[in-house]
Homo-oligomer: A and B are copies of this chain.
């Protein structure tokens, strides 16, 4: 008998997540109900935002419940279907999360076309990651030709796409990342104009000033904290700051103490706004078309870091907070049949 291995939230992390926060459990293979199909997980996504849902506090997405499967972006193959619109063998993306099998409503699944892009792109550049970068830049950042864009967490999955969108529209793009290897990748492979290593820059504010001789028009922020304090000191009048993530504060148990940005926003008539991908669902098709076109034209590249084995999911997730990963962090669970 096939069992369904699952990972559940055993306890809410205090500070950085640890192995003890996760439990492996075994459940019987789920039985699809009417309107559902049985899918087998091929790849799953681990993302920084999931840390937020592990807290029991008010946020845009409800907190994960204890002892329930952790939900997130997933790609799989239909292994059993009596629904007309999906057949056995179809590749699909959805949000069933950290488990080997799931019975999923067909309306919560999207078909994957591997002629368009490699399967894993549907969890990355063509998936929630790419769309997050796209809408943050399109709706809030609005970079223009000749402007200066700074991206923090630039070697992360979202950051590297946000920066490339800046280059596509003709902006000067300055990235901030956490290793010389990442900096070299962003500069040499992705065409960022300058990339700063925050771990070795002893004065980030001075480094930003030098890297942005015309000031900062768009700051696409994935990290928050001291790095943001340094960037915000150099924003221009009418700067736009899409808040995509605040990874430096996700593991904090207390309020995030540092430089209040309000005076800088006030004196520069700047805009800072948090955004949620779920608010843009009506425009996903448009966003995917734009991203897909740029990928085909070779204007948009992406990087994946794939860990092999379902058992290594907690480890892959925890690695997001050590700043080691370059690009999208995935876990490969199985090969398609």
Interface of A is mostly: mixed
Cα A271 to Cα B272 with chains together (Å) = 6
Number of chain A interface residues as a range: 35 or more
Please list 23 pairs of residues, one from A and one from B, whose beta carbons are closer than 8 Å in the complex, sorted by A's number: A59-B267, A59-B268, A60-B237, A60-B268, A228-B260, A243-B262, A246-B263, A249-B260, A256-B262, A257-B257, A257-B258, A257-B259, A258-B260, A259-B260, A260-B261, A265-B274, A266-B274, A269-B273, A269-B274, A269-B275, A269-B276, A270-B274, A271-B271
Cα A273 to Cα B243 with chains together (Å) = 13
A214-230 at interface with B (beta carbon < 8 Å): 221, 224-225, 228-229
Provide the residues of chain B in CB contact with A263, threshold 8 Å.
Answer: 224, 246, 249, 256
A84 interface residue per 8 A CB criterion: no
Copies of chain A in the complex: 2
A309 shortest CB reach to chain B, Å: 32
Partner of A266, one of B237, B245, B259, B271: B245
Provide the residues of chain B in CB contact with A266, threshold 8 Å.
Answer: 243-246, 274
A17 interface residue per 8 A CB criterion: no
A73 interface residue per 8 A CB criterion: no
A92 shortest CB reach to chain B, Å: 28
A131 shortest CB reach to chain B, Å: 15
CB pair A265 B249 closer than 8 Å = no
